[in-house]
Structure 1
Amino acid sequence: MRHLDNLILNTDSYKASHWLQYPPQTEATFFYVESRGGVYERTVFFGLQAILKEYLAVPVTHAQVDEARDFFAAHGEPFNEAGWRHIVDAHGGRLPLRIRAVPEGSVVPTHQALVTIESTDPACYWLPSYLETLLLRLWYPVTVATQSWHLKQLIRQYLDLSCDDPAAQIGFKLHDFGARGVSSAESAGLGAAAHLVNFFGTDTVSGVLTARAYYGEAMAGYSIPAAEHSTITSWGRDREVDAYRNMLRQFARPGALVAVVSDSYDIYTAIREHWGKTLRDDVVASGATLVVRPDSGEPVDVVHQCLVLLDEAFGHTVNAKGYKLLKHVRVIQGDGINPNSIRAILERVTKAGYSAENLAFGMGGALLQGINRDTQKFALKCSAAKIAGQWIDVFKAPVTDPGKQSKRGRLALLRHREFGSWRTVPVDETLARPEDHVPEPGWDHALETVWENGVLLRDWTFAQVRERSNV
């Protein structure tokens, strides 16, 4: 949407008036981003680099200032034209900010400062607050990466229980089906890239392109040939088996994977008769692995029953941990998949003696759209202001909701080098910069300056992000 390209208008309306609301002689402000709790106790930090490259890397122009001035005049808000002209004239349109953040891919407990934003020009003390709307959208890729990471730990638990080589299996056990269920192309790109921090399977092309554009990863995710209902039902109910036979002829090769949705009419008949009898020898002879996809019904019961029927048709081996592993076939469940159903399905099938290796999951709307800012209670708050040469603490402490109490002072995030624990601490107001704070023995600074006055100082690769998330 090219009409949304003006950074000055990428904000909330009321932000336009905030430069007039700070105390006289305000010279600087300091803000931070944190997850104040939520569904998960740890967050996977991801996506800031993409946001910085996309939005802050392009200098503001006088033409954009003109557009914003005219817009706010008609919109009913005052506009800091002089302040934005100053940014263009004195800074070449590059925003006078310092942004520090944990390295992307870091797994950090909630209630810690993940990002700090501070102004670097006394004439632009108001700027960090003005960018809150844009920068706090960071909640989205962080929350997708966080949910995906926790699902990875859940699936790994059952693979550890029932699979001989969990490390070789985990990367493709949760496939992204979410492209059509998100609110925008940008959401699809950021969210799918966030999922790819943890897994390698995706059908959301924009996520692969996002990882390439902002993190330099040539191919972050992979897919396989797969049927949809239209390509099966277009053959007609009487020729359903011919549709399946065509899938084998087109795609089944030694070592290949072929996914075929098989519930267009009767999933159980499809397995018993078509796959298990008519096409059984073709499946075996092809050397491919057939992945049967049920797409309706109660997921826990349907997946279990499909495994039993496929077992009857194709047989199984027993792995070193005593669990059944189907020959020639697997199952992928993509309907009704969410954290609760994944756990319930894995619990059912492993109790029935089947290895979790037999299964993969496809997750759509619940992966990329079934979250919001309150899932992890994300907030961007001011914690310090420099007024007349003195740094003062800035905070909120509402009596009606202690959970919204904010942090005070300029902040540093520390990590213990031996135990891996985290602490967010205020620093001495006399220090020029929070990173000048000298931690207690055993503790190191965990925030790094990633952006300063229009320059990207850290450019993480996707491989580095993945490596951190896997620690």
Structure 2
Amino acid sequence: MRMSASSPPTICRASTTNGSLSSKERIMILNINPLSQADFYKTGHIFQYPEGTTEVYSNFTPRSDRLAPVLRDRFDSKVVWFGLQGFIKMFLIEIWNENFFKQPKDVAIGRYKRRLDCALGPGAVDVSHIEALHDLGYLPIEIKSLPEGSRVDIRVPTMTIRNTSDARFFWVTNYLETVISDELWKPSTVATIAYEYRRLLEDFAERTGAPKAFVDWQGHDFSARGMSGFMDSMSAGAGHLLSFYGTDTIAAIDYLEDRYNANAEREIVGGSVPATEHSVMCLGGKESEIGTFRRLITEIYPSGVVSIVSDTWDFWKVITEYARELRPQILARTPNAIGLAKVVFRPDSGDPVRIIGGYNCVEIDRMSDLSSAIEQGAEAIQVNGKYFILDGAGEEPLLREAREAEVKGAVECLWDIFSGTETDKGYRVLNERVGLIYGDSITLQRAEAILNALERKGFASCNVVFGIGSYTYQYITRDSFGWAIKATSGVVNGERIAVQKDPVTDGGAKKSACGLLRIEQEGNRFVLYDNQTEEQERQGELRTVFVDGKLVVDEDLATIRARLGAVV
């Protein structure tokens, strides 16, 4: 969360290399059995395929955006494809190798057999095919993928998977369905939503004359504590970092160094600033809260950026009385090594649109003029030095007396104290020594409403940073973009068979492609061609990234970011 639009990157000069644990140490600590990362029904499918089956060919596709939490008038029905390389390195290579192929055969097979015997009954599933896989020593599959960071049209597959030349292992393709789905739908979904935030912020930056470089830091990942465990927060947090630099998810940077060849010593992977929490403010005491602010601003962090949570008791008092009293100390802050010197106030409760942007207030002489004010679009009124918020509308609107600060909103309150500059499009920008970040229950819809409110009041979009938390990144499911793996082709007794799912009881969203697949890029779209020949399937934009236990395409974060074209 750099609060300066033109700040150069902060480069870490640590002497250590990527990661603190070796891959083997990390995986052995987790001790994940890769064969257990499947639904129970997968264990019997090998026996259910037609006799003579030698190949299963499947794809992973975002099938629908009907439930996607996007801004409909802005969304162009494309998802950001991301997470496959990290999954391949972590699961298909490290976990499978360390916790299955490198384990003694009796240990690896015994562990799997015990799980099935205990759950399904002794001897319910023959494990000879698992023994054969262990003897083989690697995963005999080929994965082809569109390049990560690509924006892929809905209903276009992002990857395909099939078993390779050893026909005994046709069953492996869809045995991996569960783990591919549960590990890959979320990084792509988060990367897509982060990109939608990015597009929204870039639009308002253009409209109000805010510097585009500020957008790199304007979306800040606050989601880690609300995610489904640390592995979830790592991979999802990495998806956020395709479109922004700002993050409080430390492990997302580790993930990108470990899985995507990023290096925080050479590039900006992600960054943050010192910030307080409510325990800090509470323990400082309510009566001496301003003293806590003064100590933080002048003693603990006299230079650079410090973000201070400000709603522990009375946010409006902080943003008016405290801010005014501490104005000399705030303006006197010294820049750090990269030129930053800012106090960021962080409200953390209430209606984010109103807290930041306030209300459209119309001044009237008497209450009898209320209807006229409503006709002018008033959301609040000022009459005889008092402020009232309109909590209802109609013939008898409800009026709630409010403080001036609440009606104005945080940005305008800070402007009254610190003033600032104007963009070349005439929108106001707060003094560079102060800022705001809001990270409670932010969604794309609320972010847009906040930016609209600021624009109506004549403020540029760069006056606020958004903390994008689990209210965005955990309020999603696999169905947000309808992610699913489906088989579309197979070989039985030497004959290639085209496969298609098309339930008569469904409206068409679950209808799958058919046969072998080819994806072509046509203009700014990826287009699916199904029912392809073997020769046609080898063409197009799908490229082999993993085959027979080995990663064959190993890209870096910079390449993927450049492909997406988000952060500069």
Q: TM-score range by the shorter chain?
A: over 0.9
Which residue identity does 1:286 align to in structure 2? Answer: R
1:52 partnered with 2:88: yes
- Counterpart CA distance in 1 for 2:485 and 2:554 is 23
Q: Which residue of 1 aligns with 2:276?
A: 227
Residue among 15, 20, 23 paired with 2:50: 23
Secondary structure in 2 matching 1:336:
coil
Which residue identity does 1:68 align to in structure 2? Answer: Y
Q: Which residue of 1 aligns with 2:315?
A: 267
1:317 partnered with 2:414: no
1:250 deviates by: 3.8
1:369 partnered with 2:474: yes
8 A Cα contact 1:188 1:368, kept in partner = no
Matches within 5 A, 1:181-330: 181-219=226-264, 220-254=269-303, 256-276=304-324, 278-287=325-334, 288-304=341-357, 305-327=409-431, 328-330=433-435
- Structure 2 stretches lacking a partner, 5+ long: 1-26, 69-74, 335-340, 358-408
Secondary structure in 2 matching 1:8:
helix
Q: Which residue of 2 aligns with 1:388?
A: 493
Question: Aligned in 2, Cα 1:251/1:80: closer, same or farther, shift over 3 Å?
Answer: farther
1:162 partnered with 2:198: no
8 A Cα contact 1:176 1:367, kept in partner = no
Question: Aligned in 2, Cα 1:432/1:72: closer, same or farther, shift over 3 Å?
Answer: farther
8 A Cα contact 1:383 1:408, kept in partner = yes
- Counterpart CA distance in 2 for 1:109 and 1:117 is 19
- Structure 1 stretches lacking a partner, 5+ long: 438-444
Matches within 5 A, 1:418-437: 419-429=523-533, 431=534, 434-435=537-538, 437=539
Q: Which residue of 2 aligns with 1:6?
A: 33
Secondary structure in 1 matching 2:478:
coil
- Counterpart CA distance in 2 for 1:80 and 1:461 is 42
8 A Cα contact 2:210 2:461, kept in partner = no
Matches within 5 A, 1:108-123: 108-120=152-164, 121-123=166-168
Secondary structure in 1 matching 2:424:
coil
Q: Which residue of 1 aligns with 2:564?
A: 469
- Counterpart CA distance in 2 for 1:464 and 1:108 is 17
8 A Cα contact 1:27 1:386, kept in partner = yes
1:203 deviates by: 0.6
1:64 deviates by: 1.9
Question: Aligned in 2, Cα 1:250/1:367: closer, same or farther, shift over 3 Å?
Answer: farther
- How many equivalent residue pairs? 455
Q: Deviations over 1:146-179 (max 9, x none)?
A: 111111101111111113421x111111111111
Secondary structure in 1 matching 2:328:
helix
Secondary structure in 2 matching 1:237:
coil
Secondary structure in 1 matching 2:486:
strand
- Counterpart CA distance in 1 for 2:280 and 2:108 is 48
8 A Cα contact 1:148 1:367, kept in partner = no
Q: Which residue of 1 aligns with 2:396?
A: none
Question: Aligned in 2, Cα 1:289/1:17: closer, same or farther, shift over 3 Å?
Answer: same
Q: Deviations over 1:215-248 (max 9, x none)?
A: 1212311010111111112111111111101111
Secondary structure in 2 matching 1:99:
strand
Across the aligned residues of Structure 1 and Structure 2, the Cα RMSD in angstroms comes to 1.6
- Counterpart CA distance in 2 for 1:4 and 1:260 is 40
Q: Which residue of 2 aligns with 1:95?
A: 139
8 A Cα contact 1:427 1:434, kept in partner = no
Q: Percent identity?
A: 30
Question: Aligned in 2, Cα 1:31/1:467: closer, same or farther, shift over 3 Å?
Answer: same
8 A Cα contact 1:412 1:424, kept in partner = yes
1:408 partnered with 2:514: yes
8 A Cα contact 2:141 2:161, kept in partner = yes
1:251 deviates by: 4.8
8 A Cα contact 2:234 2:252, kept in partner = yes
Q: Could you tell me the TM-score, scaled by structure 1's length?
A: 0.93
Which residue identity does 1:34 align to in structure 2? Answer: T
- Counterpart CA distance in 2 for 1:148 and 1:80 is 45
8 A Cα contact 2:517 2:532, kept in partner = no
Which residue identity does 1:71 align to in structure 2? Answer: R
8 A Cα contact 2:85 2:259, kept in partner = yes
Secondary structure in 1 matching 2:415:
helix
Q: Which residue of 2 aligns with 1:441?
A: none
1:366 deviates by: 2.2
Secondary structure in 2 matching 1:112:
coil
Rg larger in structure: 2
